[in-house]
Chain A
Amino acid sequence: METSDKIRLLEEMLELKNGTLNESTALKSIPGWDSMAALSLIALCDEKFHKKLSGDKILSFITVKDITDFMG
């Protein structure tokens, strides 16, 4: 999957407009990036990429690129 597609999935998950995020976007700057978003990300990675994501791993993510890299 292309990076742009992964970012689009994140935008859909966070209910953000298309183009809101890019790889350098800091997670802390994203409206709605909270514990619920973290759970949604766990579900997204499991369902779309078959990857298990832990709470500790999420805490290590700084930017959107960290997430897209994890998605593989």
Chain B
Amino acid sequence: MRFRCRSVVGFGRDRMVAYNIKRDQMLNPMDMTGKLIIVTGASDGIGRAAALHLAMLGAKTVLISRDVNKLKLISEALGKNPHKIYPYDLTDLEGIEDLIRTISEENGKIDGMVHCAGVSPMMPLKSTKYDLFHNTMLINFYAFAELVRCAGKAANCNDGASFLAVSSVSSVKGNKAQSAYAASKAAVSGVIKPMAKELSSRGIRVNSVLFGIIKTGMYEKFLEQGGDMSLWNGQYLGLGSPEDAANVISFLLSDASKLITGTDLIADGGYLS
């Protein structure tokens, strides 16, 4: 006992902290202490809930959204922990490289990223012109691909990092008026597989999660636009909450899922079953 105490004292403070973090992560693989996680679309809905949940698990979160005022509010909700906000419009694809470089230079290498930013336009096929496809792809797909391309560089992220896209059951079972949205989410499902293979040599994982209906602002907008909820009767566990979604996101960003990569994880209350 005496030897063990002396041994621990001999660790020094930094090594002792590292030892405790490692022990905690072994006991609870969803522990995120010290991990730097980027959350896009962090000002609302699933992104906001994910940021709060990741922070509770110990992560240092980097929050990205266009809305600086909402980012400040969520930053206040996160308290004094070392969280950062980076107001940015991710449809400006050209600037993402600099954004990611700045984040890693100012905060250290990235351990994970979840892309929650997105749009879900409802438009009948006959009114869905190419520009709606383009605008939807811009944030739902191109921004995600560019984020992973830049964040996946060795200079910007640690080995073992986890990258995740919030996707939808619409990627495999799109409903009426979802042509652009379904196509953009299906593109995500397509791209994660080669990404996962290319980055696997460094233990980096790339996944997406297919959510069913989650009760967020997008859901409210869906109803406001006359969305037909009868199409979702198959979600027999009921509608998910943003907190339910945050649990799944934290799982996929944590070491608890370290064998899962190149996969669309389904979290849909049974809709696709």
Contact = CB atoms under 8 A, between A and B. Distances in A.
Q: Do A and B bind each other?
A: yes
Interface in B118-161: 122-124, 126-127
Contacts of A58: 226
Given A35-B228, A36-B176, A36-B177, A55 B124 contact: no
Given A39-B122, A55-B227, 7 more contacts: A35-B227, A36-B124, A37-B124, A38-B225, A39-B226, A43-B127, A54-B225
Contacts of B272: none
A55 B225 contact: yes
A39 B224 contact: no
Contacts of B223: 55
A43 B131 CA distance: 13
Contacts of A35: 176, 226-228
Contact of B126 (A38, A40, A42, A54): A40
A56 interface: yes
A59 to B, nearest CB: 8
A38 B226 contact: yes
A56 B176 contact: no
Q: How large is the interface on B (under 10, 10 to 19, 20 to 34, 35 or more residues)?
A: 10 to 19
Contact of A43 (B123, B176, B224, B227): B123
Interface residues of A, number: 13
27 contacts: A35-B228, A36-B124, A36-B176, A36-B177, A37-B124, A38-B225, A38-B226, A39-B123, A39-B124, A39-B177, A39-B225, A39-B226, A40-B124, A40-B126, A40-B127, A42-B225, A42-B226, A43-B123, A43-B124, A44-B127, A54-B225, A55-B223, A55-B224, A55-B225, A55-B226, A56-B224, A58-B226
Interface of B: 122-124, 126-127, 176-177, 223-228
A35 B123 CA distance: 11
Chain B contact residues, majority secondary structure: loop
Interface string A27-71: 000000001111110111000000000111010000000000000
Contacts of B228: 35
Nearest to B231: A35
A58 B226 CA distance: 9
Contacts of B226: 35, 38-39, 42, 55, 58
A35 B227 CA distance: 7
B140 to A, nearest CB: 19
Nearest to A59: B226
A43 B124 CA distance: 9
Contacts of A56: 224
A14 to B, nearest CB: 10
A35 B176 CA distance: 10
Contacts of B225: 38-39, 42, 54-55
A61 to B, nearest CB: 12
Contacts of A43: 123-124, 127
Contacts of A36: 124, 176-177
B69 to A, nearest CB: 22
A10 B236 CA distance: 38
A35 B226 CA distance: 6
Contacts of B124: 36-37, 39-40, 43
Contacts of B177: 36, 39
